[in-house]
Amino acid sequence: MGLYDLKYKKFGENSILVKWPSIIDENILKNILLFKSEIIKANLDLNIYVKTSYNSLLVTYLKKPVDSSKVNELKNIYKSIGSIKIQVFNKWTIPVCYDISFGKDLVFLEKSLSIKKEEIISLHASKDYRVYNIGFLPGFLYLGGMDSEIHHPRKEKPSLNIEKGAVGIGGSQTGIYPNKSPGGWHIIGRTPINLFDIEKASPCLINSGDKVKFVSISLEQYQLISVQVESNIYELNKTLIDD
């Protein structure tokens, strides 16, 4: 695992912000997540909170204000991760129905990209996507690795009502809306899977660093899986990966 030239900055009274190069990159993501894991291991006796994003990590110490010694501790922890060679994540196979009744922006994208909607669907379902971040809604997955042929800027005017499970394209990324909400991504399909459940001990099913593979399903399959999900008998396929 290669190390980066990180920037450390005190952030308020109780937090330290750590910054990586400002690019979207799988190696940076895995570096951030490994650093997060080792920080938590080294501070099991403390009440801390660690939040990650594309290019940064925020460590908040809830018991007392931070000082320069905390920065030095973090630097030493970061140096130690250089010897760690393997990280384990989950790869999730998520069914998506690309029927035009769900993919309400497919016709627009077909014209804007000059690509047939069948090709858009094929390209979208052909990739393994990395989960780079989770936000702006609880459980919303920001997925990187989309084919450049179907990159498209977000909508100039966001839609007010995007349905739960909607799968969209925004810039170079794709994502899934875990609940009904406004949004500015172009919708190309829908999954019947629940990605966020506040009633569960771990509400967010999928984590940063995991991979996602979409598989195209018919409208009839979508309806069947929806019933199975509602009845709590559907099991989402996942496998362990070390990349």
Spatial CB neighbours of 163, under 8 Å, sequence gap ≥ 6: 102, 177, 180, 190
- Over residues 202-218, the mean pLDDT reads 93
Q: What is the pLDDT of residues 231-241, one digit of tens each?
A: 999 999 999 99
pLDDT > 70? residue 191: yes
> What pLDDT does 73 receive?
92
DSSP-assigned letter for residue 155: P
Q: How would DSSP label each residue in the chain?
A: ------EEEEETTTEEEEE--SS--HHHHHHHHHHHHHHHHHTTTS-EEEEE-SSEEEEEESSS---HHHHHHHHHHHHHGGG-----EEEEEEEEE--TTT-TTHHHHHHHHT--HHHHHHHHTTSEEEEEEE-SSTT-EEEE---GGG-BPPPSS-EEEEPTTEEEEEBTEEEE-SSSEEE-SEEEEE-----B-TTSSS-BSS-TT-EEEEEEE-HHHHHHHHHHHHTT----EEEEE--
How confident is the model at residue 81, as a pLDDT?
87
Give the chain's domains with CATH numbers. 7-83 (3.30.1360.40), 89-241 (2.40.100.10)
DSSP bridge partners of 159: 183
pTM for this entry: 0.87
Write the single-letter amino acid at 57: L
**225 has a pLDDT exceeding 90:** yes
Residue 138, pLDDT > 90, answer no
The pLDDT value recorded for residue 82 is 77
Residue 1 has pLDDT above 60, yes or no: no
Q: How many CB atoms lie within 10 A of CB 133?
A: 19
